[in-house]
Amino acid sequence: MNTPLGRRTRVLAATTATAGLLLVAVSGCTSSDDGGSGSKTAAGGVELVKAGQLTTCTHLPYPPFQSEIDGKVQGFDVALIDLVAKDLGVKQEILDTPFENFKTGAFLNSGECDLAAAGMTITDERKKNVDFSDPYFDATQALLVAKGSGITSLADAKAKKSKLGAQAQTTGEDYAKGQGFDPVSFESSDAVLNGLRSGQVKAVIIDYPVVQGWLKTKANADAFEVADNINTGEQYGFTVKKGNTKLLAAIDKALSDARADGTYKTLYEKWIGPYDETAASPSAS
């Protein structure tokens, strides 16, 4: 987490991969005439940081919301923002950036990204630095342990003084600290799972949809189990630079349209799992 931000930022674009740099094709629609002529103004008067594209900051990997699959960045968040890009008449391009910048809105404020989409929980602290879209997903936390660990709940893990892991700068880490743990902080979701796999920690707390994705792999399902599912009342939102009302309105419209025409349900079932009707219209927090 101490590496300078500039050295860790990767552009994920529709191009061929070269040695030492991850370049990934991102789905999206074709640019509008305005975008092709160099205009940074998209449909609806939305101002973009780069002509012809909607630039999204994210942090990889975080399946099922965004991860590299078959040479492309894909996932639930990616698919939803593709809908926004389509409405704006541009294509989506993704920047892989450190997760800590999402709290501060650094890459939005510096003009490197139009929006951030990273399975990010809406919190009052984050609202001080960025503007959130309407909630698009209700999230819970899960406690994952190795099978046979004997840990049956978060309270049990605390009573047994089990070493707990969490992803740095996340609400899962914050929740663990609030419950009296001193969690081992891992930079990414992959590192969290590897920490559990290697025995560096005895349990991990992370968003339940991420755990669901992990357990779809037979090797993971054979090795690990959910010891506790914790409803923390969290909801995810996309973020824009404070005051970017036109882009925020475009995001909210795309989400509303997707719920109304069934697209949200289709994408939810593809990336998350069995559809819960209440997930289509989470209330704003």
Buried b (16+ CB within 10 A) or exposed e, 120-149: bbbbeebeebbbbbbbbbbbebbbbbbeeb
Residue 176 and residue 166: Cα distance in Å, rounded?
A: 8
**What pLDDT score does 13 carry?**
38
Please report the domains of the chain, with CATH numbers, ordered by start residue.
5-136+237-280 (3.40.190.10), 139-234 (3.40.190.10)
- Going by pLDDT thresholds of 50, 70 and 90, the confidence category of residue 169 is confident
pLDDT in tens, 266-279: 999 999 888 766 55
Residue bearing tokens 């391009």: 93
**Secondary structure element (H or E) that encloses residue 154, with its range:** helix 154-159
Beta strands 224-236 and 115-116 are unpaired
Is the confidence at residue 23, as pLDDT, over 90? no
Kindly give, in sequence order, each residue whose CB lies less than 8 Å from that of residue 272, ignoring residues fewer than 6 positions away. 64, 76, 137, 209, 212, 279
**What's the token pair of residue 135?**
């909630």
Q: Is the peptide bond before 135 cis (omega within 30 degrees of 0)?
A: no
pLDDT (0 to 100) of residue 17: 32
Question: 241 versus 21: which is more confidently predicted?
Answer: 241
Q: Is the pLDDT of residue 37 over 70?
A: no
* Residue 277 φ/ψ, nearest 5 degrees: -55, -35
Per-residue model confidence (pLDDT) at position 171: 86
What is the pLDDT at residue 139? Answer: 85
The pLDDT value recorded for residue 73 is: 96
Tens digit of each residue's pLDDT (9 = 90 or more) over 6-16: 323 344 433 32
Whole-number pLDDT of residue 276: 65
Percent of the chain with pLDDT strictly greater than 90 = 68
Q: Count how many Cα atoms sit within 13 Å of the Cα of residue 19 in the half-sphere of its side chain.
A: 0
CA distances from 208 to 4, 50, 82 (A): 30, 35, 24
Here the tokens at position 58 are 């994210």
- pLDDT at residue 20 tops 50: no
pLDDT band at 194 (very low <50, low <70, confident <90, very high): very high
pLDDT level of residue 33 (50, 70, 90 thresholds): very low
pTM score > 0.85 for this model? no
Specify the pLDDT at position 220.
Answer: 95
pLDDT tens-place string over residues 88-134? 999 999 999 988 888 899 999 999 999 999 989 899 999 999 999 99
